[in-house]
Chain A
Amino acid sequence: MPARKLYFESIRVGDELPALAKAPVDRVQLSRYAGASGDFNPVHVDEIYAKSVGMPSVYAPGMLVMGMLGQLISDWARGGQMRRYNVRFIKMVWPGDTVVCKGRVSNRHGTGGRYYVEIDLWAENQRGELVMKGSAQIQLFYSLEDENRQRSGQAPLVIEVPRESLAPPAPTTASSPASSPGDVPSASDEDDEDDEASDERRGGATSKKTAPREKPAAKTATLPSARKAKK
């Protein structure tokens, strides 16, 4: 029996995805991932090699952590179709680390019978440090009725849903996590992956869409803004 599905009509900007706490990463998992992905870079599987190049041990490939964050999305958005998924690797994940995946709906809109939500995503280790952040866009049916219509070959339900966005987080918490030595250099300087979206997000910010932020996340300090304070 298929699980319950998620429909656009029930999603609100600011909704938090149920956090996903993964089992601690161990070296067996790193081997399995190497085998499954075909990436046998020895820094992920060969302890002696990793130490010889100055690492304290082997470490998880970024793509494994991206896969974990992907699980958060697909667990939540059952019945949805992932359209876009981007991440930035921030901190290395070591054997023994526990990755906790989190996300929040940052945007929703619908036009011409297609409905999209955008999600801000981030992953933390057991110390609450940000190890990865990113975003995803999911396309969903508006409702069960919409799904039934489309599956029987009828036209989709068309409801115009103007874009609603989270206000960009205030640039006060300067706890940008990408600053400890040894981290992946945050290649964030001027990354304009998605100008269109950011413009629209800014546009949305001027509307009254601050309401969903009333729920202060326990770890606001590590809440990644989709984009950093940008001038």
Chain B
Amino acid sequence: MLDKNAIGRASPPTLNEVEKGAIRRFAEAIGDYNPIYYDEEYARASGYPTIIAPPTFPASFHSAADLRELLGVGIKSLLHAEQGFDYERPIFAGDRIYVSTRVADVSERQGMSGKMDIAVIEDEGRDEEGNLVFRARRTLVVRAAKETP
């Protein structure tokens, strides 16, 4: 069972600068050639100030979070079970976004092969004025390295 005290533990915000090349490479890796991710003019004609990032782009952001520290356990394996995003606005090339990570929940669920430890990790991205840009939630099935007494 993971330590309930981990809930609320958070990492300090880390700056992520959204670069055009990074957006392009991310969209290419998905195989998504929508010009809105590549072509400045097209993006403007579509009503945006510049090119935007694909919806799952926050997956590429860095945060100072170390899951082992946040959860307080050594981790043997992690399984990504669910992912969610809430968006306040699109992410644009040139954005400077501060990302912080927090343990939103830890719990135990009955799985098909016994009890599983579940951790819900929430990332929050804010712009330089402090306005919320997105929230991301990962639900992870955590196998700790050692049983904690």
* Residue ranges of A at the interface with B (Cβ–Cβ < 8 Å): 1-3, 5, 22-23, 29, 32-33, 35-39, 61-64, 66-68, 70-71, 73-75, 78-79, 81-89, 147, 151, 184-187, 189, 191, 193
Contacts and interface: CB of A to CB of B under 8 A. Distances in A.
A219 to B, nearest CB: 23
The 7 closest A-B pairs by CB, nearest first: A86-B84, A67-B30, A32-B29, A36-B29, A33-B29, A71-B32, A187-B81
Interface of B: 22, 25-26, 28-32, 34, 36, 42, 45-47, 54-56, 59-60, 62, 79-87, 89-90, 109-113, 116, 118, 139, 141
B54 A74 contact: yes
A35 B29 contact: yes
B82 A87 contact: yes
B34 A74 contact: yes
A93 to B, nearest CB: 12
A185 B25 contact: no
Contact of A89 (B81, B111, B116): B81
A81 B109 CA distance: 34
Given A64-B30, A71-B34, A87-B82, A187 B54 contact: no
Given A39-B59, A71-B34, A66 B29 contact: no
A44 to B, nearest CB: 11
A32 B56 CA distance: 15
A186 to B, nearest CB: 8
Contact of B84 (A35, A75, A84, A189): A84
A193 B135 CA distance: 14
B9 to A, nearest CB: 21
A71 B109 contact: no
A83 B83 contact: no
A73 to B, nearest CB: 7
A36 B36 CA distance: 18
Given A64-B30, A187-B141, A83 B56 contact: no
Residue of B36, B46, B55, B80 most packed against chain A (CB within 10 A): B55
B143 to A, nearest CB: 11
B89 A81 contact: yes
Given A37-B26, A187-B141, A67 B87 contact: no
A185 to B, nearest CB: 4
B30 A193 contact: no
Residue of B31, B34, B112 most packed against chain A (CB within 10 A): B31
A32 B109 contact: no
26 contacts: A29-B29, A35-B29, A37-B26, A61-B80, A63-B83, A66-B56, A67-B26, A67-B59, A70-B56, A71-B30, A74-B54, A79-B46, A82-B90, A83-B87, A84-B84, A86-B84, A87-B83, A147-B47, A151-B47, A184-B79, A185-B111, A185-B141, A187-B111, A187-B118, A189-B110, A193-B84
